Structure 1
Amino acid sequence: MPFDASVGLSGSSAVLHLSGRLTDADVRTLRGLVEQAVGRSPRRLVVDLYDLEEMVPAALRCLAFAQQHLPATAEMVIEGASEHLRGALERSGLTQSMTVVTAAAPR
């Protein structure tokens, strides 16, 4: 499935939805959406990975960038990451600075 992404902004929250296969060619798109979300200084940034099949290491760096550029009091939440993606997040050390929700998809 090709990569698709969108960002939704509402009040003090932002939701970044990622789906498909995120390749190196897609990282520029992801980076732009992350910058858009972080630029609004949300109190909460939710990254919806329910429909994401895989991601390259550069995408993990984009998520780290998001975490580093959020306000100090903001929360970053990763939702719906598959076991494979959770492993990548853990190996990168990102799970220490983000909340990872592993509940079933609310669809």
Structure 2
Amino acid sequence: MSFTASLGSAGSSAVLHLAGRLTDADVRTLRTLVDQAVGTAPRRLLVDAHDLESLAPAGVRCLAFAQQHLAPGTEMVIEGASPDLHEALARAGLTRSMTVVTTTTTASAAA
């Protein structure tokens, strides 16, 4: 599935929805949305990764950029992270500075 992304808001939160496979060619799109999200000075940045299949290393760097440029005290949450995404964020040291909520697949959900 090709990469798609959208930015919205909910109250004082910016919500970035990511779907598909983010390749290096797609990073410019992600960076543009990250810049827009940071520019709104949200109290919380929620990255909805439920539909994200894969994330290139440059995409992880974009998320790190977002976290670094948010105002002090702003919470960043990655919701719906696959185990692979969680591992990539952990390797980058980002799980110490943001909340990462992983998805789990159970036998009943897979059936």
- Please give the alpha-carbon distance, in whole angstroms, between the structure 1 residues aligned to 2:97 and 2:43: 15
Shift of 1:104: 5.6
After the TM superposition, which segments of 4 or more aligned residues of structure 1 sit over 4 Å from their partners? none
Instruction: Specify the structure having the higher radius of gyration (Cα).
Output: 2
How many residues get paired?
A: 105
Gaps of 5+ in 1: none
Corresponding letter in the other structure for 2:68: Q
Moved more, 35-44 or 3-12: 3-12
Q: Give the TM-score taking structure 2 as reference length.
A: 0.90
Cα root mean square deviation, aligned: 1.3
Equivalent residue, structure 1, for 2:41: 41
- Please give the alpha-carbon distance, in whole angstroms, between the structure 1 residues aligned to 2:27 and 2:66: 13
The alignment-based identity, stated in percent, is 70
8 Å contact from structure 1 (residues 5, 16) kept in 2: yes
Gaps of 5+ in 2: 106-111
Q: Give the TM-score taking structure 1 as reference length.
A: 0.93
